[in-house]
Chains A and B, each alone.
Chain A
Amino acid sequence: MNQVSTAIIGRVVATERRPNTPHQFHFWTALDAPVGIGTIVRVETTRPVSGVLPRIFGVVTEGFGYTDLQTPLHDVLGADGEPGASALAPTERTEIRLYTAAVLRQVPEEPLQPVPMGTVHLATEADVQVALRMDTYATGETHRGIPVGLYRAGGTEAAIHLDADFLLGPEAAHLSISGVSGLATKTSAVEWLLASIFAHLPASKGKVAAVCFNVKGPDLCFLDQPASALSDEDRAIYQRLGVPATPFANVRYFAPWSAKGGQLATLRSNDALQHNVQPLTWGLKETLQYAEVLLNRDDIDAKADALIDFIKERVVDQTFSDPMLERSHLVRSFSDLEQWFRELLRGLEGRNADVWRTHHVATIRKVRNRLSNISTRCKGLVTDDGSVSDLPFKQFEDRAVYVVDVANLEEDAQDLVFARVVSQLREHLEKRQLGVDQIVVFVDELNKYAPADGPDTYVRKMLLDIAERGRYLGLVLFGAQQFRSQVHRRVVGNSGTSLYGRMDPDELATAGYQTLAPATKARLATLEKGQLMVRHPHFGQPIFVRFPRPAVLSGREGVERFPQAEELTLEQSVAKALRRLDPAITVGWVQDQLALAGEDDDGVLRARNRTLQARPDDVKAFFKAQLKKRATPEVAARRGPAPLRVPPPDDVYG
């Protein structure tokens, strides 16, 4: 810990036109004083209040420099219009450095008075702890501080901790990180903060895991691989903050199949990295529950909604019989559903009926069209045959990261993945059955999922619900976005902690940043990589910190070191997938089996998926059995033809 600073670096000043207040004060320094925007200072005064000498802590938010010139014209006159002449003047003009600081904390806190005249000192590490109230939660036996970075200014270096109760709940929760694209600051900061949480969350807070949605590129595809080269400075920060400079030890990847179905649609396709990559596929039941995500308002009017509800409640996953149908149906997949629709419509046509169970035939056709379309729009994620490969809900592991790679999915499918995964997390947390007590959900491009404007989508409603009530469940949202102003204000407003990387000047001109001083905005617009501005409930004002480069392989370096696997033939991709279960399986063996079975591509992929889902002891035998099993709907006992429709006696059109 640094020595207590006694050097006076400035003096508080106040004038009638520029008075000090309980929240703001002004001070001047020597021209070479190590003070800048974001520097934390301590004010000492010699006049006690109620017998106590007050100490005031502030952070510099604005700086001014000027000379005794009344107008620039005087300097022009003095230099005869020659800019170089001023440099030759024997005397430099009197110049001032005047700073404005926002009060972080006054000790004692009562009575809250305007900042008195006094001397200004650079804050020591101990001062920083007091100024940011970290002394109440980042020290002692009840330590619950999560390091977010290092404060550095004027030779002072201090660890900045967030309060776990205010980052992960229950007091407050959620984190919002904003910044321009291209600097990797947002993703890096979240990776760093997750590592810090995993290292520092006290045992009393229970188990924690993270679910990260990889929505673009390879950003999150190599979290289990070490960084190519961490600088000595980065390693020093890791050591200083007590976070191991190692990649995440427990990471599992989930990705849907590519549209062709041959391999997983992820940039983490290199053979060397397949041990922890699993398919993400859902069937009809999993999908239909969130059909609203995929169907827009035009699709779902009240009538269609009623039919979908009927199908969900009365048709799916149970034997369904109806006079209109030729036979009983057990609908478990989109294929089954299509058969069901086809037979129902045939029945209606055969009976020349317009209405079935209060649903008009036009509505039935419309719903059929929209639902059947889902497996096409979400090909690779939603399977026709109903095979499911999902996140291990109920078995989440402590300090594990679950990456859901949806970068190669269409927008609708991304929404579906997001909605279902988060909803499942919520449901399992409510029942305390997730396997961990707290789950951090990292969503990039939050302005897309919870926009400030636009329609009130299912995903946005769900995010609002998490933002407002998730902290009670342990469901914590880490949202990243380029433009905070474009995210719904209830989402960002409920983020207890906000991080800001380099910001776009236009974004800084929006209303949400009006409370920041112009100099603070200017610094935000020019922040370097590895620097953040932090807002946290305990901090009276935003604080600038430096954080290390994540100890994981960056996406850009990862795709170079682990190139994508080449496009495989059907046999190769099946062999590769099955080899995870049985290393003895060869491409030749798969070729033989396919030749013998004579299946089409869909049938082969269906067999592969079922094998992967079942994870049988005898992989070869199970796969062979699946190949032989035709992918036909499971048919219930055939029934006799349905009776002709009998119109009601009072039906004048009957």
Chain B
Amino acid sequence: MDVKALRVAMAGDRHIQPIAAPDAGAANIRLALRALRDSGLEAGARGASLEVQPQSDRPPRLERATPFEGSRIGVRAVPGAPVVGFRAFLDGIQRSQVIAYAGGIPLVHGAVAAAIRERTDRRLHTWGTPQIAQALFAPHALLDATLLASLGARLTVVDTLASTGASARDFDAPSAAAHHPQELVARALTAVQRARESAELALVAEWVARGEGPLLVDGGTSGSAGAATSAHIVGVIKSHRTLYADEAALPLVLGLREGERTTAMTVSSPRRHPVMSWYLRLREPSSRSPLFGLVRVETARADDVTERADLVSRWLLAERTPVALPDQRWDVMVYGIRECEQYLTAILR
């Protein structure tokens, strides 16, 4: 299951509270394994992290978007030199792993973290308090009650079958198909993703409330009303399984040269808050993939749409250095986001 697609699917301001603060007995994997063994289960790491396992994704697709700057999608060279504008960067990470099976039911340990790294004197420092949460993810209804009680006494056990208000496909009440271990694992992964998004949104809300200056968020901003309407929040989408362009506009998007952007459009859906969005080419693809260096920008709709889109584009172009290498997504990732990710990797023990 595509993590980003799931995030897009999440509508409304459904913040999942952090499962546990890092200093409040968070259920790190060692404690979780001990709790499982104390409950009579044979526990241990079962295979690779769920995040790196192949997921059944929806196929890539084109989706029509409504022009917001002009009457149709066009191409525009970003005027003016790149200029430093972002004050801070937000990213979140997650880790999940099957650590036990209870009668064929996978028990997944999940850990999520999100943080804002604020830039002062060209150096990044953590702003506010990072969000860290770790828990066991399992379908409550399918577990033995005694076992569930035993586990619940020792650590937080998130119900992966609980209704979330997401798509029916993903969040319907348990069906026969949902008893399939792979489906249960997928639901657990979805729950972990949701926890991460919740952590990220909590920080976005905090920044909107008391942050100063523009915040660059890794991913879209339409998942929360606060983010979708704040002029201080800019989201950057690096993957393009869904391209917001019809057949006529697609060549324009793919043919963008370095420093060019499309005109802005409105991206909206029933579960998302409307934002204005445009494609921006950060780096010249030359003979590489047409998606090389291509990002989609989301920010709150503005009246001075052209000036706003140009300015945000100049901010993003300024973030091309330092290069985010050795990250494989270096062509579309700004260094502040990579640094934030490294920070999270370090603190999520």
A49 to chain B, nearest CB (A): 23
Whether the Cβ atoms of A88 and B342 lie closer than 8 Å is: no
- Judged by a CB distance under 8 angstroms, whether A91 is at the interface is yes
- Chain A nearest CB, measured from B72 CB (Å): 34
- A18 lies within 8 A of chain B by Cβ: no
Chain B residues in 8 Å Cβ range of A68: 338-339, 342
Return chain A residues, CB-CB under 8 Å to B338.
68
Docked-complex contact A70 and B325, CB < 8 angstroms: yes
Name the CB-closest residue of B to A78: B323
**C-beta contact mask, A371-413 vs B, less than 8 Å → 1, else 0?**
0000000000000000000000000000000000000000000
Chain A residues whose CB sits within 8 angstroms of the CB of B270 once the complex forms: none
Residues of B within 8 A of A75 (CB): 322-323
Partner of A91, one of B325, B326, B336: B336
Segment with Cβ contacts to A, from B63-71, B102-110, B117-125, B131-139: B117-125
Q: Nearest Cβ distance between residue A131 and chain B, in whole angstroms? A: 31
Give the interface residue-count category, chain A. 10 to 19
- Knowing A90-B84, A91-B339, A94-B342, say if A78 contacts B322 (CB, 8 Å): yes
* Residue interface mask B310-328, A partner, CB < 8 A = 1: 0000000011111101100
| Contact call B326/A90, Cβ cutoff below 8 A | no
**A90 and B325 form a contact (CB under 8 A):** no
Residues of B within 8 A of A77 (CB): 323, 325
Using Cβ atoms and an 8 Å threshold, which residues of chain B touch A585? none
Give the shortest distance, in Å, between B91 (CB) and chain A (any CB).
14
A79: which B residues are within 8 A, CB to CB? 321
For B127, the chain A residues whose CB sits under 8 A away are: none
Do residues A88 and B123 form an inter-chain contact, with CB atoms below 8 A?
A: no
Residue of A nearest to B325 (CB): A74
Question: Are A90 and B122 in contact, with the CB atoms below 8 A?
Answer: yes
CB distance from B318 to the nearest CB of A (A): 6
Query: Are A90 and B319 in contact, with the CB atoms below 8 A?
Result: yes
A559 to B342, CA, bound (A): 66
Interface string of A544-559 (1 = CB under 8 A from B): 0000000000000000
Is the C-beta of B335 less than 8 angstroms from some C-beta in chain A? yes
The answer for the CA separation of A510 and B322 in the assembled complex, in Å, is 42
- Min distance, Cβ B272 to any Cβ of chain A, angstroms: 30
1/0 per residue A57-97: CB within 8 Å of B?
00000000000111100110111000001101111111000
Q: Given that A91-B124, A91-B335, A91-B336 are contacting pairs, would A78 and B342 also be in contact in the complex, using a CB cutoff of 8 Å?
A: no
From residue B56, how far is it (CB to closest CB) to chain A in Å? 33
Closest to B122 in A: A92
Among A70, A71, A93, point to the contact of B322 (Cβ < 8 A).
Answer: A93
Contacts of B319 in A (CB 8 A): 90-91
Interface size class of B (residues with CB under 8 A): 10 to 19
A142 to chain B, nearest CB (A): 50
- B119/A91 in contact, CB under 8 A: yes
Q: How far is the CA of A256 from the CA of B330 in the complex (A)?
A: 80
In the assembled complex, how far is the CB of residue B184 from the closest CB belonging to chain A, in whole angstroms? 35
Which single residue of chain A is at the shortest CB-CB distance from B121?
A92
Interface centre among B119, B323, B326 (most CB of A within 10 A): B323
Measured CB to CB, the nearest residue on chain B to A73 is: B325
Could you tell me the distance between the alpha carbons of A75 and B326 in the complex, rounded to whole angstroms?
A: 10
Given contacts A78-B322, A79-B321, A86-B322, contact A91 B342 (CB under 8 A): no
Q: In the bound complex, what is the Cα–Cα distance between A499 and B316 (angstroms)? A: 58
A89 B322 Cβ-Cβ under 8 A: yes
Which residues does chain A contribute within 8 Å of B335, judged by CB atoms? 89, 91, 93
Please name all residues of chain A whose beta carbon is closer than 8 Å to the beta carbon of B124 when the two chains form the complex: 91, 94
CA distance A94 to B343 in the complex (A): 10
Distance between A369 CB and nearest chain B CB, rounded to angstroms: 81
Taking CB as reference atom, which chain B residue is nearest A74?
A: B325
Which residue on A lies nearest to B119, using beta carbons?
A91
Chain B residues with Cβ below 8 Å from A86 are: 321-322
Which residue of chain A lies nearest to B343 when distances are taken between CB atoms in the complex? A94
Q: Which residue of A lies closest to B320 (CB)?
A: A78
Least distance between B307 CB and chain A CB atoms (Å)? 21
Q: Is A90 within 8 A of B342, CB to CB?
A: no
With a cutoff of 8 Å between Cβ atoms, the chain B residues found around residue A90 in the complex are 84, 86, 119, 122, 318-319, 321
Q: CB-CB < 8 A to A89: which residues of B?
A: 122, 321-322, 335
Q: List 30 A-B contacts (CB under 8 A).
A: A68-B338, A68-B339, A70-B325, A71-B326, A74-B323, A74-B326, A77-B323, A78-B320, A78-B321, A78-B322, A78-B325, A79-B321, A85-B321, A86-B321, A89-B122, A89-B321, A89-B335, A90-B86, A90-B119, A90-B122, A90-B321, A91-B119, A91-B122, A91-B123, A91-B319, A91-B322, A92-B122, A93-B335, A94-B124, A94-B342
B→A interface (CB under 8 Å)? 84, 86, 119, 122-124, 318-323, 325-326, 335-336, 338-339, 342
The 10 closest A-B pairs by CB, nearest first: A78-B323, A74-B325, A89-B321, A70-B326, A90-B84, A92-B122, A89-B322, A78-B321, A78-B322, A91-B335
20 additional A-B residue pairs with CB within 8 Å, beyond A78-B320, A88-B321, A94-B339: A68-B338, A68-B339, A70-B325, A74-B323, A74-B325, A74-B326, A75-B322, A77-B323, A77-B325, A78-B321, A78-B322, A86-B322, A89-B322, A89-B335, A90-B84, A90-B122, A90-B318, A90-B319, A91-B119, A94-B124
